[in-house]
């Protein structure tokens, strides 16, 4: 694996950043579309969420939507490192994320951070997610963001 072309790098980072944009905008169908041919996994959780409908339903069940129609979050994805094999049409990426949130109940604050381990495959000329593996490292006050207790996903520090 190597650096790949600029076009491939741009297409892959666009997918990564589009995911964050969809979560923040509560565009759960859009998130599903990103994983139409892929799957999501989480560190410490057995199995995978596979395909557009399953991913969309997961986000609909687990994310709170506020009066403005959004999750009131800002997902920041950083330290992106991508390895691309142009010949095989495969790529992998490592990155970190921090989610900030502000609601009528909470001041602006980071609520969760962690790492993404992504795999991509090229279909024709287009890159797509093959897998997003989410590793949660730090959990703050997520009660205004999620419908479940995320603290169980983090090993004791």
- Mean pLDDT of all residues in 74-99: 98
Burial class (CB in 10 A: 0-12, 13-18, 19+), 152: exposed
Indicate whether 1 belongs to any domain.
no
Handedness of CA 21, 97, 3, 127 (dihedral sign): negative
Per-residue model confidence as pLDDT tens digits over 88-137: 999 999 999 999 999 999 999 999 999 999 999 999 999 999 999 999 99
**Following DSSP, what letter does each residue of 84-147 receive, concatenated?**
EETTTTEEEEEEEEEEEE--SSS-SEEEEEEEEEEEEEEETTEEEEEEEEEEEEEE---TTTBS
- CA 26 – CA 21 distance, rounded (Å): 9
**Parent domain of 145:** 6-153
- The per-residue pLDDT for 1 is 64
- Mean pLDDT, the chain, whole residue set: 94
Here the tokens at position 106 are 């909470």
Region of poorest pLDDT, from 33-37, 114-118, 153-157:
153-157
| 156 band by pLDDT with thresholds 50, 70 and 90 | very low
| 152 band by pLDDT with thresholds 50, 70 and 90 | low
CATH number at residue 11: 3.10.450.50
CB 117 within 8 A of CB 96: no
Handedness of CA 18, 112, 97, 1 (dihedral sign): negative
- CA 93 – CA 119 distance, rounded (Å): 6
Indicate whether 71 belongs to any domain.
yes
Region of poorest pLDDT, from 25-34, 125-134, 139-148:
139-148
Indicate whether 148 belongs to any domain.
yes
In total, how many domains does the chain have? 1
């Amino acid at each position: 694996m190597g650096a790949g072309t600029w076009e491939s790098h741009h297409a892959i980072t666009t997918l990564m950043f589009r995911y964050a944009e969809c979560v923040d905008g509560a565009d759960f169908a859009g998130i599903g579309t990103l994983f139409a041919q892929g799957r999501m996994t989480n560190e410490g959780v057995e199995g995978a969420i596979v395909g557009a409908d399953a991913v969309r339903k997961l986000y609909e069940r687990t994310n709170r939507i506020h009066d403005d129609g959004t999750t009131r979050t800002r997902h920041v994805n950083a330290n992106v490192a991508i390895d691309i094999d142009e010949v095989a049409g495969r790529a992998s990426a490592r990155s970190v994320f921090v989610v900030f949130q502000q609601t009528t109940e909470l001041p602006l604050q980071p609520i969760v951070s962690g790492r993404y381990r992504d795999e991509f495959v090229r279909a024709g000329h287009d890159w797509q997610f093959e897998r997003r593996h989410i590793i949660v490292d730090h959990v703050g006050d997520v009660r205004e963001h999620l419908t479940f207790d995320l603290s169980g996903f983090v090993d004791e520090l």
